[in-house]
Amino acid sequence: MKLGVFAVLFGDKSLEEALDQVKDAGLETVEIGAGGYPGNTHCNPEELLADEAKLQAFQQAFTERNIEISALSCHGNPLHPNKNISNQHHKQFEDTVLLAEKIGVDTVVTFSGCPGESEYSRNPVWVTAAWPDDHPEVLEWQWQEKVIPYWKEQNDFVAEHNVRIAIEPHPGFVVFNNETALKLREACGKNIGVNFDPSHLYWQQMDPVVSIKELGEHDAMFHFHAKDTAIDPQNTAANGVLDTKPYSDELHRSWIFRTVGYGHGEEEWKRIISALQLIGYQGAISIEHEDSLMSVEEGFQKAVALLKNALIKEKVGEMWWA
């Protein structure tokens, strides 16, 4: 496994400045945002595919610093009922796959997306209950009419271009846990796997180690985000874990995203890294920062320090703690 970072947290820097910071921190890989909700600050696939000189300059920036690209990320909603949004996100996804193939990156990270409740919807509808009966009926329609047909086609598309799709389970989208991720993989193809982010599991009261082992049994662990969640026991006891208050209202929320180690300590992250080692995961540990209580620089450095200490490295015939 190699320690890296999702470079969108350095969106205020140029690509070269961001990579210099990554190298100075002693990291080996970066995940590059290529569209969707995080945007494409450091990488515009459509532009790079159309301009060979810009593409060579883009690749040279990584080569000069001996930094690998672990994945291109295009977190969008290609199933959005607003066609202006879904068409844009689908185009960005396609361009990202084509660019990944061209530069030899085998993984594209994205969301599953979420449709509306019918052909007449204006906004996505995320089903979270089995009653009233409208809910399971909507869910069945979404999967059979929208989700499975779209992702079957994308599974075949990426296979043609030697790329795989790492779907990030995230509440608000049809894939939000292992069960839904594996359902999508089973229905649509083995080129679809998971970008695993423990922070989205913690606030749903799941154990990441259990989830990691299950994904390992299905060879479905394609990429990994290192991000944490802190649960507020008082607010959760009062209101539960389904929280629609703004992320900026930290005092009253049931949970908030934190940098690694500030929701769960080093021992928990050692459990996670050990579970990844047990299933044979050899990809990137990509640090993601969405901590509203900590600056980007502070959150990044604290995550690097904890993960360097927790990460298990493998050497021929032996393992040791870094």
What is the pLDDT confidence band of residue 317, given thresholds at 50, 70 and 90?
A: very low
For the segment 25-30, the average pLDDT, to the nearest whole number, is 97
Q: C-alpha 120: how far from its chain's center?
A: 30
259-to-34, 72, 126, 187, 256 alpha-carbon distances in Å: 23, 22, 27, 34, 10
Identify the H or E element spanning 110. Answer: strand 107-110
Bin 39: left if φ > 0, else alpha if -120 < ψ < 50, else beta.
Answer: left
Which tokens sit at 225? Answer: 């985000």
Is the Cβ–Cβ distance between 79 and 150 less than 8 Å?
Answer: yes
Architecture of domain 2-321: Alpha-Beta Barrel (3.20)
Which tokens sit at 208? Answer: 């990441």
Instruction: Tell me what pLDDT residue 41 has.
Output: 84
Backbone angles phi, psi at 229, to 5 degrees: -135, 135
Residues 124-145 have pLDDT tens digits of 999 999 999 999 999 999 999 9
86-to-36, 81, 120, 230, 249 alpha-carbon distances in Å: 10, 7, 15, 32, 30
Bin 284: left if φ > 0, else alpha if -120 < ψ < 50, else beta.
Answer: beta
250-to-201, 246, 257 alpha-carbon distances in Å: 19, 8, 10
pTM beyond 0.85: the answer is yes
